[in-house]
Amino acid sequence: MTGAPMQPPLADLHCHLDLYPDHAAAIRECERDGVCALTVTTTPKAWPRNRDLTSSSRHVHAALGLHPQLVAERSSEIGLWQEYFSEARYIGEVGLDGGPRFYRSLDVQRQFFELVLRACAREGGKFITVHSVRCTKEVLDMIEKHLPARTARVVLHWFTGSKSEARRAVDMGCYFSVNADMLRKAQHRDLVASLPSDRVLTETDGPFTQTASRPARPSDVRAALESIAVCRGSDAGTVAAAVRTNLIRFLGDEAQAWAL
């Protein structure tokens, strides 16, 4: 790695630690490696164990979610999501997916995402990581309609919308979590290069991404830092320091709870 030394801790704002072979060991790795990680859940049934395993962690926090790709088949769990909602400070993975396999379930996805946004607006103080595959405009429309400014903080996970949509998201106060896989395409590198430096966070989306031909782990977020640095004409140390500053700003008073 070139450039100035990175200022720890690193930040993986979207990963699925409960999907690794040893959930507890993955959390311990984050502690050992100095990685601030937001571990999202794909169904609310996974929430209690995620909550319990992260309750004493310095760096790892759990998010309550119901993945848009699973909403249709897991609609019976929406009530369970609502039951757990008040005890979760972080919400995710939620959003919309208009990809070929999931566009037929968009109606139920929309209903649930609206429920999520309204609940977050009503209670206030939540942090939300949002999925927006092939639905960027609609996701932004729904956030704008149902989540008044300053009632919650939104990070757009694996954002691949247009530059104009990115500018709109910036104007709405959103942040962007970037992983190394999304920067393999020139159009996405160009998009990330255009994002305001004070809105960029990092993620792995592990274990759904690959590093060195194996499932990425939170410490592999260094690859995202390297890739962001290249596309922005910077160095990894500078990007890491900026991401840490951005994470502190994004979390606000919660930063202390992340040992920042």
Residues in Cβ contact with 186 at an 8 Å cutoff, skipping those fewer than 6 apart: none
Per residue in 179-222, pLDDT (tens digit) is 999 999 999 999 999 999 999 999 999 999 999 999 999 999 99
Which amino acid type is present at position 256? Answer: Q
pTM for the model: 0.95
Using CA atoms, how far residue 48 sits from 56, 119, 153, 183, 212, in Å, is 14, 20, 23, 34, 32
pLDDT for position 150: 87
Q: Which domains can be identified in the chain, with CATH numbers?
A: 10-252 (3.20.20.140)
DSSP string, 39-79: E--SSGGGHHHHHHHHTT-SSEEEEE---TTTTTTTGGGHH
If one compares 7 and 18, the residue with the highest pLDDT of the two is: 18
Residue owning tokens 């996405």: 188
Residues in Cβ contact with 139 at an 8 Å cutoff, skipping those fewer than 6 apart: 95, 96, 113, 130, 132, 156
Rg (CA), the chain: 17
